[in-house]
């Protein structure tokens, strides 16, 4: 409502008794147009860069999409079915069993499926905070699950047919190596990190030598040593020990050194006052570290731990060099099949997709966990 006040001397003033109703911001200052103008086309140079990159991205994505989907061959059991000019996915679908199970006997593959379900349920139960009784499930996931899965996969007891580890392969072997590696390397890395900060000279010296020794050796050398050199020092007749077991021991030792350094960075970031507070509460060394120091240290190094775990997962493909056919090894072996020559792109694209799914899942879980445990300390 407005009213007019007339000034008898000069002019007339208009006075509002009620405030003006709020109005939306101009369309040019909000929405997609504002975002495009400020983020992509804020200047002539930025506009040129945006257009060039958009052209390259669209051109590349369309080429890959056409090859992988529009012009791809999906059905068939031989290379003769691949006549469309695009990707030849029968190369993958015709050997999907070998890619997943390796050389595991077909009639016994149900054991792998059961072991995978137990593994998946254990991992989900431990990693999802909303699941009940997680502390009760943790001992089963750390001890019971590996033992049950080993019995299922290896057999030889309870009427299960024995399957040698050299018959393991494919994605099953990749997950086995990665799971065992993380399951043992992370706790061992925590102990080594604590030992490196110990004031006991022998403990400190042993941990320093262990960490620096394994960090200074390439992973390939570790695998070759475990596969070919280590049996030479074993008693006669025992050189035929399990190659996979030797490789797993080497992988655990190697990656525990890296995990130890990541955890040590977290330990050093914890203020000394936290340790002093634990001492003031009369907490012993192990209680002080378990209840006060390690929870804070591990929270600070979540990105480093996950990055190291992802690197471990990807490096499982190195077991191929000692004669173990993991997921990537089975694909590379399939490329030597004369009936499927020339389809390496399909094999490597499928391998990249599977590795990306696992690594991206771990990365996203890491980000979610960081946000969840963030208590405001920066």
367/295 same-domain check: yes
Say whether pLDDT at 26 is over 80. Answer: no
142/281 same-domain check: no
Question: Number of C-alpha atoms within 13 angstroms, CB side, residue 78?
Answer: 3
pLDDT: is 173 or 21 the higher one?
173
Each residue's pLDDT tens digit, 70-92 = 888 888 877 788 887 888 898 88
Each residue's pLDDT tens digit, 196-216 = 998 899 999 999 999 999 999
**In whole angstroms, how far apart are CA 325 and each of 18, 48, 98, 188, 328?**
80, 48, 10, 27, 7
Each residue's pLDDT tens digit, 297-354 = 999 999 999 999 999 999 999 988 888 888 988 888 888 888 888 888 888 999 999 9
Q: What is the DSSP string of 65-118?
A: HIIIIIT-B---SSGGG--SSS-BTHHHHTTHHHHHHTT--GGGHHHHHHHHHH
Asked, for residue 94, whether it belongs to a domain, the answer is no
205/340 same-domain check: yes
Share the mean pLDDT of the chain.
Answer: 86
319/198 same-domain check: yes
Instruction: Note whether 158 and 135 are within 8 A (CB).
Output: no
Count of structural domains, the chain: 2
217/188 same-domain check: yes
329/240 same-domain check: yes
217/322 same-domain check: yes
109/189 same-domain check: no
Task: Single out the residue in 136, 163, 190 at which a domain terminates.
Answer: 163
Each residue's pLDDT tens digit, 83-126 = 878 888 988 888 888 899 988 999 999 999 999 999 889 888 88
Asked, for residue 3, whether it belongs to a domain, the answer is no
Asked, for residue 170, whether it belongs to a domain, the answer is no
In this prediction, residues 237-247 reach a mean pLDDT of 72
**What's the chain's length in residues?**
378
Would you state the pLDDT for residue 364? 92
Asked, for residue 5, whether it belongs to a domain, the answer is no
In this prediction, residues 233-256 reach a mean pLDDT of 79
Task: Single out the residue in 133, 163, 193 at which a domain terminates.
Answer: 163
Task: Single out the residue in 128, 163, 198 at which a domain terminates.
Answer: 163
Would you state the pLDDT for residue 83? 82
Would you state the pLDDT for residue 7? 55
| pLDDT above 70 coverage of the chain, percent | 93
Asked, for residue 75, whether it belongs to a domain, the answer is no
Say whether pLDDT at 33 is over 70. Answer: yes
3-state secondary structure 19-65: CCCCCCCCHHHCHHHHHHHHHCCCCHHHHHHHHHHHHHHHHHHHHHH
Instruction: Note whether 208 and 260 are within 8 A (CB).
Output: no
Say whether pLDDT at 223 is over 60. Answer: yes
Each residue's pLDDT tens digit, 132-152 = 888 788 888 888 888 998 899
Asked, for residue 86, whether it belongs to a domain, the answer is no
Say whether pLDDT at 378 is over 60. Answer: no
272/215 same-domain check: yes
Asked, for residue 61, whether it belongs to a domain, the answer is no
Domain around 124: 105-163
133/260 same-domain check: no
CATH of the domain at 220: 1.10.3720.10
Asked, for residue 43, whether it belongs to a domain, the answer is no
Say whether pLDDT at 227 is over 90. Answer: no
């Amino acid at each position: 409502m407005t009213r007019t006040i007339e000034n008898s001397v000069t002019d007339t003033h208009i006075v509002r008794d009620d405030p003006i109703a709020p109005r939306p911001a101009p369309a040019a200052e909000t929405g997609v147009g504002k975002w495009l103008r400020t983020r992509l086309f804020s200047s002539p140079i930025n506009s040129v860069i945006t257009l060039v990159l958009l052209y390259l991205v669209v051109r590349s994505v369309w080429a890959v999409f056409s090859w992988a989907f529009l012009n791809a061959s999906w059905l068939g059991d031989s290379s003769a079915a691949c006549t469309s000019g695009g990707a030849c996915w029968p190369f993958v679908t015709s050997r999907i069993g070998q890619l997943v199970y390796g050389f595991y006997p077909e009639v016994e593959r149900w054991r792998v499926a059961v072991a995978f379900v137990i593994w998946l349920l254990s991992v989900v139960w431990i990693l999802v905070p909303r699941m009940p009784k997680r502390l009760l499930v943790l001992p089963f996931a750390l001890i019971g699950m590996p033992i049950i899965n080993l019995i299922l996969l290896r057999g030889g007891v309870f009427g299960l047919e024995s399957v040698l580890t050299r018959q393991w392969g494919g994605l099953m072997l990749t997950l086995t190596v990665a799971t065992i590696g993380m399951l043992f390397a992370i706790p061992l890395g925590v102990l080594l990190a604590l030992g490196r900060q110990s004031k006991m000279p022998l403990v400190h010296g042993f941990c320093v030598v262990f960490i620096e020794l394994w960090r200074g050796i390439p992973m390939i050398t570790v695998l070759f040593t475990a596969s070919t050199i280590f049996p030479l020092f074993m008693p006669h007749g025992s050189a035929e020990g399990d190659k996979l077991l030797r490789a797993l021991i080497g992988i655990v030792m190697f990656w525990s050194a890296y995990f130890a350094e990541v955890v040590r960075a977290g330990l050093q970031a914890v203020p000394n006052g936290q340790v002093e507070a634990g001492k003031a509460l009369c907490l012993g060394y192990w209680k002080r570290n378990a209840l006060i120091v390690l929870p804070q240290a591990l929270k600070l190094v979540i990105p480093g731990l996950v990055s190291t775990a992802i690197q471990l997962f990807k490096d499982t493909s190195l077991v191929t060099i000692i004669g173990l056919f993991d997921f990537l090894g089975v694909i590379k072996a399939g490329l030597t099949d004369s009936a499927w020559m020339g389809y390496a792109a399909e094999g490597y694209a499928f391998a990249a997709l599977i590795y990306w799914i696992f690594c991206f899942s771990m990365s996203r879980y890491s980000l979610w966990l960081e946000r969840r445990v963030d208590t405001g300390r920066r």
